[in-house]
Amino acid sequence: MRQSQLFTKTRKSAPKDEIAKNAQLLIRAGYIHKEMAGVYSYLPLGLRVINNIMSVIREEMNAIGGQEITLTALQNPAPWKKTDRWRDDAIDVWFKTALKGGGELGLATTHEEPLSALMTEYIHSYKDLPRYVYQFQTKFRNELRAKSGILRSREFIMKDLYSFSRNEAEFKEFYEKCAGAYKKIFDRVGIGESTFRTFSSGGTFSRFSDEFQTICDAGEDTIYVNHEKGIAVNKEVYSDEVLAELGMKKEELTEAKAIEVGNIFPLGTRFSDALGLTYKDDKGVATPVVMGSYGIGPGRVMGTIVEVLSDEKGIVWPKEIAPFQAHIISISGGNKDVIAEADNLYNLLRDHGIETLYDDRDVRAGEKFADSDLIGIPTRLVVSEKTLAEGGVEVISRKTGGTTLVSESAIIETLIEK
Query: Do 123 and 82 share a structural domain?
Result: yes
- Helix boundaries (H) for 84-231: 112-119, 168-188
Measuring CA to CA, how many Å separate 55 from each of 175, 197, 296, 415?
21, 22, 13, 21
Tell me what pLDDT residue 204 has.
Answer: 62
Query: Do 170 and 101 share a structural domain?
Result: yes
Residue 225 falls inside a structural domain: yes
**Contact criterion met (CB below 8 Å) for 76 and 268:** no
Least confident of 234-243, 282-291, 303-312: 234-243
Residue 318 falls inside a structural domain: no
Longest CA–CA span in the chain (Å) reads 82
Residue 63 falls inside a structural domain: yes
Query: Do 364 and 296 share a structural domain?
Result: no
Neighbours of 70 (CB within 10 A): 9
- Per DSSP, 262 falls in state E
Least confident of 45-59, 198-212, 236-250: 198-212
Query: Do 331 and 256 share a structural domain?
Result: no
- CA nearest to 345, candidates 362, 361, 357: 357
Cβ-count burial 268-291 (b if 16+ within 10 Å, e if not): bebbbebbebbbeeeeeeebbbbb
Query: Do 298 and 233 share a structural domain?
Result: yes
Residue 3 falls inside a structural domain: no
**Domain boundary pick from 248, 277, 309:** 309
171: domain CATH number? 3.30.930.10
The order of strands in the sheet holding 95-98 is: 74-75, 104-107, 95-98
- Helix boundaries (H) for 73-217: 77-82, 112-119, 168-188
Tell me what pLDDT residue 417 has.
Answer: 81
Confidence at 201, pLDDT banded by 50, 70, 90: confident
Query: Do 299 and 384 share a structural domain?
Result: no
Cis ω on the peptide bond leading into residue 130 (within 30° of 0)? yes
Query: Do 172 and 252 share a structural domain?
Result: yes
Percent of the chain topping pLDDT 90: 92
* Counted domains in the chain: 2
Of the two residues 16 and 198, the one the predictor is more confident about is 198
Residue 319 falls inside a structural domain: no
* Arithmetic mean of pLDDT, 368-376: 98
What does the angle CA 61 – CA 209 – CA 223 come to, to the nearest 5 degrees? 105
Tell me what pLDDT residue 109 has.
Answer: 96
Rounded Cα–Cα distance for residues 372 and 322 (Å):
13
Residue 206 has pLDDT above 90, yes or no: no
Non-local CB neighbours of 12 within 8 Å, separated by 6+ positions: 28
* Arithmetic mean of pLDDT, 98-107: 96
**Contact criterion met (CB below 8 Å) for 38 and 143:** yes
**Domain boundary pick from 263, 281, 309:** 309
Sign for the CA dihedral angle at 135, 136, 141, 145 comes to positive
Neighbours of 311 (CB within 10 A): 12
Query: Do 46 and 134 share a structural domain?
Result: yes
**Domain boundary pick from 253, 277, 309:** 309
Tell me what pLDDT residue 146 has.
Answer: 77
Residue 205 has pLDDT above 70, yes or no: no
Residue 126 falls inside a structural domain: yes
Residue 55 falls inside a structural domain: yes
Tell me what pLDDT residue 333 has.
Answer: 87
Q: Specify the 3-state DSSP secondary structure of 178.
A: helix
If 0-12 CB within 10 Å is exposed, 13-18 middle and 19+ buried, where does residue 404 land?
A: exposed
Q: DSSP E strands: which ranges in 269-418?
A: 278-280, 286-288, 290-296, 326-331, 356-359, 379-384, 393-397, 403-406
Query: Do 410 and 363 share a structural domain?
Result: yes
Tell me what pLDDT residue 202 has.
Answer: 78
DSSP string, 310-350: -BTTB----GGG-S-SEEEEEE-TT-HHHHHHHHHHHHHHH
Which domain range does residue 353 map to? 324-417
Query: Do 329 and 281 share a structural domain?
Result: no
Query: Do 81 and 183 share a structural domain?
Result: yes
357: domain CATH number? 3.40.50.800
* Residue type at 371 in one-letter notation: D
pTM value surpassing 0.75: yes
Residue 316 falls inside a structural domain: no
Bridging pattern class, strands 221-226 and 403-406: unpaired
Alpha-carbon Rg of the chain, whole angstroms? 25
Mean pLDDT score across all residues of the chain: 95
pLDDT tens figures, 315-355 = 999 999 999 999 999 999 889 999 999 999 999 999 999 99
Query: Do 235 and 91 share a structural domain?
Result: yes
